[in-house]
């Protein structure tokens, strides 16, 4: 049904090859012929079939990008950064949402390989993503991990200094007067969660505050997870004076639970987290956070990937660790001191 090269060729009274040359801007085509061909292309609304083209050229000029959640204010800029960089390099991005689900992630990886993407940018669902990655790595498939490390998986990666960031956040809370600090952490399966927990522990240790397991709440990193963890936490007596949540959505969920109990931040309890909540920060200079440069993750990741694809990368895998910047706002009683309770 769609118009092919041959249709154009016929209409222009030339061979398919000539049309191909015109389409690809090759030199060595008579000006008059070129004009006729271009006319035919326009008249027929010819659009080249990239499938066929890729099949012969063995180049799809496409990379895959899998993130756990496009909607998350952290990953959205990651996507944008990757897309912009890719576009500049003449590449398209196939974007997939794994929803943090290993099965879905695996499906998507197969799908992308099947589409013959030339490389893959992946913010893995968790440590168990390893199984899906192993065959790729063995085959020397260009792969760059984003944001999350996968144990015993040696490949290029762009990552934050999560331990340092979490430590800073914790130390900040302590500096402001908190000593009883709850931590909402990820399932044990995700490197960022582990590292931030570690940073939390180190932060406490520096001040000689014992880390109590009662104050550590493993949960999921979505809003619901934060909500549930907060509900559990609220049964503690005495309550912690501050919470450090593993990411932005968790912090929002926690806020929600706190609000429902009439507990306000920062007056009654301090709250800090990793990742900013883009639009929210505009409204009220509110949550104290470790802000991660999402766009940089995306563009650096894409750069690494293109170096890999073009073979300029060498054998050793590269590891880029981005600094985690503390953004101090009002959510931890900086102004009011430690809450009364």
Partner DNA sequence: TTGTAAGCGTTATCAC
Partner DNA sequence: GTGATAACGCTTACAA
Task: Let me know how long the chain is.
Answer: 341
Tokens encoding 31: 């000006």
53 touches DNA (CB under 7 A) = yes
Residues that bind a copy of itself (CB under 8 A): 1-2, 45, 47-52, 54-55, 58, 60, 70-71, 73, 76-77, 79-80, 83, 92, 94-95, 97, 110-111, 113-116, 135, 138-139, 223, 249, 252-253, 255-256, 259, 277-280, 282-284
Give the phi and the psi of residue 229 in degrees, each rounded to 5: -60, -40
Residue found by looking up tokens 């180190």 in the block: 202
Measured from the CB of residue 48, what is the shortest distance to DNA in angstroms?
4
Q: Which of residues 32-51 bind DNA (CB under 7 A)?
A: 32-34, 48-49
- Total residues contacting DNA (rule CB under 7 A)? 28
- Which range binds DNA by CB under 7 A, 15-23, 91-99, 219-227, 249-257? 15-23
Residue 73 binding result from DNA, a copy of itself, none, given CB thresholds of 5 to 8 Å by partner type: a copy of itself
| Sign of the torsion angle spanned by Cα atoms 69, 70, 72, 74 | positive
In this complex, which beta carbon is closest to DNA, that of residue 59 or of residue 323? 59
Binding residue for DNA (CB under 7 A) from 58, 140, 238, 311?
58
- Closer by beta carbon to a copy of itself, 49 or else 212: 49
Q: Which stretch binds DNA (CB under 7 A): 4-12, 80-88, 252-260, 313-321?
A: 4-12
Cβ 25 to DNA, closest distance in Å?
10
Q: Which among DNA, a copy of itself, none contacts residue 110 (Cβ within 5 to 8 A by kind)?
A: a copy of itself
Q: Which does 6 bind (CB under 5 to 8 A by kind): a copy of itself, DNA, none?
A: DNA
Burial class of 106 by CB neighbour count within 10 A (0 to 12, 13 to 18, 19+): middle
The label of the residue with tokens 């639009």 reads 279
Nearest-angstrom CA–CA distance, 144 and 166: 24
Contact 154, 317 (CB under 8 A): yes
From 24-32, 103-111, 214-222, 235-243, give the range in contact with DNA by CB under 7 A.
24-32
Residue closer to DNA (CB basis): 44 or 326: 44
Instruction: Compute the least distance from the CB of residue 57 to a copy of itself, in Å.
Output: 11
Residues 93/306, Cβ–Cβ less than 8 Å? no
Q: Give the number of other CB atoms < 10 A from CB of residue 190.
A: 25
Interatomic CA distance for residues 123 and 149, integer angstroms: 9
**Residue nearer to a copy of itself on the CB measure, 38 or 278:** 278
- The answer to whether the beta carbons of residues 131 and 163 sit under 8 Å apart is no
31 vs 282, beta carbon nearer DNA? 31
Q: Which residues contact 168 (CB under 8 A, 6 or more apart)?
A: 199, 203, 290, 324, 326
The residue to which tokens 């984003």 are assigned: 146
Query: How near is the Cβ of 13 to DNA at its closest, in Å?
Result: 7
| Of the residues 43, 57, 284, 321, which one makes contact with DNA according to CB under 7 A | 57
Kindly give the interhelix angle for 223-233 and 248-260, rounded to the nearest 10 degrees. Answer: 50
CB of 55 to a copy of itself, least distance (A): 5
Position 224 contacts DNA (CB under 7 A): no
Burial class for 272, CB neighbours closer than 10 Å (0-12, 13-18, 19+): buried
- Written as one string, the DSSP assignment of 27-84 is S---HHHHHHHHHHHHHHT----HHHHHHHHS---EEEEEES-TTSTTHHHHHHHHHH
Q: Which of 95, 102, 79 is nearest to 301 (CA)?
A: 79
Binding site for DNA (CB under 7 A): 2, 4-6, 13-18, 20-21, 23-24, 28-30, 32-34, 48-49, 52-53, 55-58
């Amino acid at each position: 049904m769609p118009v092919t090269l041959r249709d154009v060729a016929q209409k222009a009274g030339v061979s398919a090859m000539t049309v191909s040359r015109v389409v690809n801007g090759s030199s060595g085509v008579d000006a008059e012929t070129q004009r006729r061909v271009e006319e035919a292309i326009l008249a027929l609304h010819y659009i080249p079939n990239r499938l066929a083209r890729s099949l012969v050229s063995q180049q799809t000029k496409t990379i895959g990008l899998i993130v756990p959640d496009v909607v998350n204010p952290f990953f959205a800029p990651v996507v944008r950064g990757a897309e912009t960089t890719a576009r500049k390099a003449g590449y398209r991005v196939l974007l997939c949402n794994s929803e943090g689900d290993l099965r879905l992630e695996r499906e998507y990886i197969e799908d992308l390989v099947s589409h013959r993407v030339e490389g893959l940018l992946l913010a893995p669902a968790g440590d168990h993503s390893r199984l899906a990655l192993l065959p790729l790595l063995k085959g020397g498939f260009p792969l760059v991990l984003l944001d999350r490390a996968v144990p015993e998986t040696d490949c290029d990666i762009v990552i934050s200094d999560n331990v340092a960031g979490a430590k800073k956040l914790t130390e900040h809370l302590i500096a402001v007067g908190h000593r009883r600090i709850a931590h909402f952490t990820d399932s044990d399966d995700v490197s960022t969660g582990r590292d931030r927990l570690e940073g939390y522990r180190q932060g406490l240790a520096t001040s000689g505050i014992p880390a109590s397991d009662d104050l550590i709440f493993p949960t999921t990193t979505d809003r619901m997870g934060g909500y549930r963890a907060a509900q559990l936490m609220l049964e503690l007596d005495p309550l912690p004076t501050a919470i450090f949540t593993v990411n932005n959505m968790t912090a929002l969920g926690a806020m929600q639970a706190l609000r429902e109990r009439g507990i306000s931040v920062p007056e009654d309890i301090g709250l800090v987290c990793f990742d900013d909540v883009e639009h929210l920060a505009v409204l009220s200079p509110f949550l104290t956070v470790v802000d991660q440069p999402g766009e940089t993750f995306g563009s650096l990741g894409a750069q690494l990937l293109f170096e890999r694809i073009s073979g300029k990368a060498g054998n050793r895998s590269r590891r880029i660790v981005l600094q985690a910047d503390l953004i101090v706002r009002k959510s931890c009683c900086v102004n009011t001191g430690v809450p009364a309770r």
